[in-house]
């Protein structure tokens, strides 16, 4: 039997993707365990939710450190100390410094509310998609590299844009897809089924599904 993959989850807001990951674990769809929920915003609703579930929370507010790099160095040290083998940005609103990315190279996932490379490097991808007038947007799960929102793409899902959409209604439908995609990407990583080949991520067949 394989052991559950130790996860570190980074959040800055409501924590809906954290909740989706936790639900997938509880339901047995994801063989993982959350060893740390880290946040740069102590007041974030996701922090209170994580504590209510009994998840281990650690806070790294920018105001408590001399620099963003120092805060992220402390966070990296904490994640390493608790044995996180995969770190997931699940609604994280801060650019990661190169040293943090390097510490978890190949073990760092992000979800972004657009079909990358469209509407990259912004915290307002949904609003920008509406303003641009696109008919389809979506979400992307990708490996994190030093270049923001430019790492190899693991999974994407398309979401239609309706004429009467507001940022809130469109984001709600994007979140529905994120909540499915992110646990699936984590499961693929945990199973060793993701192979990075340059800019591409190849999803390897499931050995358990192959005929004997």
In the numeric block, which tokens belong to residue 156? 């994407």
143's CB contacts (< 8 A; 6+ apart) are: 106, 108, 109, 110, 151, 152, 154, 196, 201
Q: Are strands 136-143 and 200-203 parallel, antiparallel or unpaired?
A: unpaired
* Domain segments of the chain as ranges: 5-204
pLDDT number for residue 135: 98
Closest C-alpha among 88, 187, 99, 182 to residue 144? 88
pLDDT number for residue 208: 79
Q: Which residues are catalytic?
A: 112
Q: Which secondary structure element, helix H or strand E, spans residue 109, and what is its range?
A: strand 108-112
**pLDDT tens, residue order, the chain (212 aa):** 578 999 999 999 999 999 999 999 999 999 999 999 999 999 999 999 999 999 999 999 999 999 999 999 999 999 999 999 999 999 999 999 999 999 999 999 999 999 999 999 999 999 999 999 999 999 999 999 999 999 999 999 999 999 999 999 999 999 999 999 999 999 999 999 999 999 999 999 998 776 55
pLDDT number for residue 197: 96
> CB-hemisphere CA count at 13 Å for 42?
6
pLDDT number for residue 1: 55
Q: What phi and psi, each to the nearest 5 degrees, are found at residue 29? A: -85, -15
The predicted model scores a pTM of: 0.95
Question: Looking at the domain 5-204, which fold is it?
Answer: Rossmann fold (3.40.50)
């Amino acid at each position: 039997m394989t052991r559950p993959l130790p996860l570190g989850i980074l959040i800055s807001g409501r924590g809906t993707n954290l909740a989706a990951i936790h639900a997938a674990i509880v339901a047995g769809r994801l063989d993982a365990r959350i060893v740390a929920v880290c946040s740069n915003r102590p007041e974030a609703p996701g922090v209170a939710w994580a504590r209510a579930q009994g998840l281990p929370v650690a806070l790294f507010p920018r105001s408590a450190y001399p620099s963003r790099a120092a805060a992220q160095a402390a966070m990296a040290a904490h994640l390493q100390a608790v044995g996180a083998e995969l770190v997931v940005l699940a609604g994280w609103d801060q650019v990661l410094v190169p040293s943090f990315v390097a510490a978890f190279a190949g073990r760092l996932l992000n979800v972004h509310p657009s079909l990358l490379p469209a509407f990259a490097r912004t915290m307002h991808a949904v609003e920008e998609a509406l303003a641009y007038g696109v008919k389809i947007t979506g979400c992307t799960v990708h490996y994190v590299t030093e270049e923001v929102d430019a790492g190899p793409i693991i999974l994407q899902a398309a979401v239609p844009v309706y004429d009467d959409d507001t940022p809130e209604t469109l984001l709600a439908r994007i979140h529905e897809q994120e909540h499915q995609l992110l646990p699936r990407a984590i499961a693929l990583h945990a199973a060793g089924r993701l192979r990075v080949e340059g800019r591409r991520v190849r999803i390897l067949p499931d050995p358990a599904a192959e005929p004997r």
